[in-house]
Structure 1
C-alpha cells in the first residue's frame, strides 16, 4: 500500500502543476549547435520543471536531455545526471519519480521491473522474471546534419556481433520504493538514476522487455551504441514516452 500512496501523491502533484502552469505552444528544434526543443505540432504542451513536459492530446511525456555517449557497450539507455552516463545513450536532469508521475497523468500503468536469480539446486539454475507494465513507445528527437529527426531509441543500438537486430520493446515497469535509512521510503530509480534500462538491474522506471542479467559472465555484453546514427556527445535531444496499451 505504501507504494500506491507514494505514486498517488506524485500523480496529485503533477496534476496540480498541470492545472496551475500556463500551457505553451510546441516549437520546432533549431539545427545544432542551437538547442533542440519539443516536437513541432499543433498540440499544446504543459511545461513542468527541469525539461519535463506533457503533451496531453498526444498522450506523450517529453523529457529534454543530452547525448551521453555515442560509442561503446550499453547497460543503460537513459539515466539521471551524475549516475550512469558512462553506459547510457542519454542523460537527463529530471528525477525518475517525476517522469513516473507524468506517465500516470497521461494514463499509463506501471507494474514491476524484471528480476533474475540463480538457483544452483536445479539443472537450469538461471531464473528470469520479465518486467511488466504498459508497453511504451520510446523515441528520441534530435538534430543531425541540420535535419530534425525522430526515431525509436532502438535505432541508436546495434549488435557488436552483427547477428541480431535490436527489438525496441519497453514496458512501464515503475521501479519500486525502498527504505531510506531514516524510517521513510525513497523511490529507488531516483537514487540509481535508472530511467530507461537495457540490462536488468531490477530498479528500472522503463525496462527493456527482455531480461538481460547485469553480470557479464552470465550475459556477455553485445549491445552497443550505433555511432553512425547518434549526434555528437552533448547534443540536445528530446526523449518521448507514450503508452501503446490502453
Structure 2
C-alpha cells in the first residue's frame, strides 16, 4: 500500500478541448484527451478536505475537488481483460489493477461527492447500455526513476483487434443488491405461493464479486462502459496495453472524478441515437411486409 503522505493530486483543467465523439461514449484518442494537470502536494488528511472512509481500507473522498481516491497495485500486464480494476482477491487474472477495498464503500464515496447513479446493462429483450454519470479515471504511480507519472486509465487498455487505445468513457451504473436466500427456501416459497422477494435474507452488493471498474459489460459492474463489450463481440474486446503499464506489483493511486460535461454529451448522443433507431423501425417493418417482385 502507498504511504499516506505527500503525493500530487491531479486536477482537470476547466478549459478542455471539445471531444470528437465517433459514438455516444467514444472520445478522442487517449493522448489527445489526457487533461492538462496542475500538480500540487496534498496530504491525505482532514484539514485538506480529504476524508478516509474506512480505517482498514485505502479509500478517501476529496470533498473540495469532488473526487474519490483509492490505492491499489498492478496485478496484470498482458492478456484479455474483463476489468480495469477489481477487488483484491477476486479477478486479478483478468484485471490490470487490484484494490484492497469493498465495492460498496467506493459506491458510497461516489454518491458522497455528488455522482449520479444510473442503471446496469440489460440484455433482455435487447441490449440496453449501462447508464449513469461519466467518471474520469486517472492513475498515478512512481516510475523506476522516482518520477511521478499520471495518465488516464484508458491508456492502459487497448482493443484486442485493432490494438488501438480504448477511447470510451466509464459510466456509473452502480451495480445492484440481491438477497442471499438458500435455494431450497426459494423453492419452498414458490410451492406455497409466496413471493421469494418477501423472504428475509442478507442484502449483498453484487459488485463485491470483483466487478469494480469493468471493460466488459456486467450487470454487477460498479463502473462500466456504455457500449456493447463482451468476449462474444469480436469488434470490441479489450486487452492490457502491455507497453504502457508499469511492472506488476507497482503501487498505484486511482482518482475517480465525476464529469458532468461528458455526461451531458453522452446522454444527448444516446437520445439522438434512440430517436434515429425509432425512425428506422417503421421502415424495417414496411420492408418485411413488402411483396416480393
Give me the TM-score of the superposition, normalised by structure 1.
0.75
Aligned to 2:155: 155
Unmatched 5+ residue regions in structure 1? 1-24, 30-38, 120-126
Aligned to 1:48: 53
Aligned to 1:95: 102
Question: What secondary structure does 2:154 align onto?
Answer: helix
- 1:169-197 per-residue CA deviation (whole Å, 9 max, x = no partner) reads 0111100011112623211112x111101
- Contact preservation (8 Å) 1:153, 1:168: no
Question: What secondary structure does 1:174 align onto?
Answer: coil
User: Post-superposition shift, 1:163?
Assistant: 5.4
User: Post-superposition shift, 1:165?
Assistant: 3.7
Aligned to 1:28: 7
Aligned to 2:222: 205
User: Post-superposition shift, 1:220?
Assistant: 6.3
User: Post-superposition shift, 1:62?
Assistant: 0.5
User: Post-superposition shift, 1:147?
Assistant: 1.6
User: Post-superposition shift, 1:234?
Assistant: 1.1
- Which of 114, 120, 126 aligns to 2:121? It is 114
- Contact preservation (8 Å) 1:195, 1:206: yes
- 1:31-61 per-residue CA deviation (whole Å, 9 max, x = no partner) reads xxxxxxxx83374421232101111111010
Task: Provide closer, same or farther for how the CA distance between residues 77 and 236 of structure 1 changes in structure 2, counting only shifts above 3 A.
Answer: same
Task: Provide closer, same or farther for how the CA distance between residues 26 and 132 of structure 1 changes in structure 2, counting only shifts above 3 A.
Answer: farther
Q: Pick the structure with more helix per residue.
A: 2
State the alpha-carbon separation in 1 of the partners of residues 64 and 168 from structure 2. Answer: 24
User: Over alpha carbons, which structure has the higher Rg?
Assistant: 2
User: Post-superposition shift, 1:166?
Assistant: 1.2
Task: Provide closer, same or farther for how the CA distance between residues 78 and 206 of structure 1 changes in structure 2, counting only shifts above 3 A.
Answer: same
Aligned to 1:59: 66
Aligned to 2:127: 128
- Contact preservation (8 Å) 1:160, 1:224: yes
User: Post-superposition shift, 1:26?
Assistant: 5.7
State the alpha-carbon separation in 1 of the partners of residues 224 and 161 from structure 2. Answer: 23
Aligned to 2:250: 235
- Contact preservation (8 Å) 1:115, 1:211: no
State the alpha-carbon separation in 1 of the partners of residues 241 and 233 from structure 2. Answer: 23
Residue 223 of structure 2 corresponds to residue 224 of structure 1: no
- Contact preservation (8 Å) 2:155, 2:165: no
- Which of 186, 205, 212 aligns to 1:187? It is 205
Q: Pick the structure with more strand per residue.
A: 1
* Larger RCO (CA within 8 A; separation ≥ 6): 1
- Contact preservation (8 Å) 1:143, 1:231: no
Unmatched 5+ residue regions in structure 2? 9-39, 182-199, 262-293
Question: What secondary structure does 2:110 align onto?
Answer: helix
Task: Provide closer, same or farther for how the CA distance between residues 133 and 217 of structure 1 changes in structure 2, counting only shifts above 3 A.
Answer: closer
Question: What secondary structure does 2:71 align onto?
Answer: strand
Query: Matched residue pairs, number?
Result: 202
Root-mean-square deviation over aligned CA pairs:
2.2
User: Post-superposition shift, 1:168?
Assistant: 3.4
State the alpha-carbon separation in 1 of the partners of residues 237 and 85 from structure 2. Answer: 18
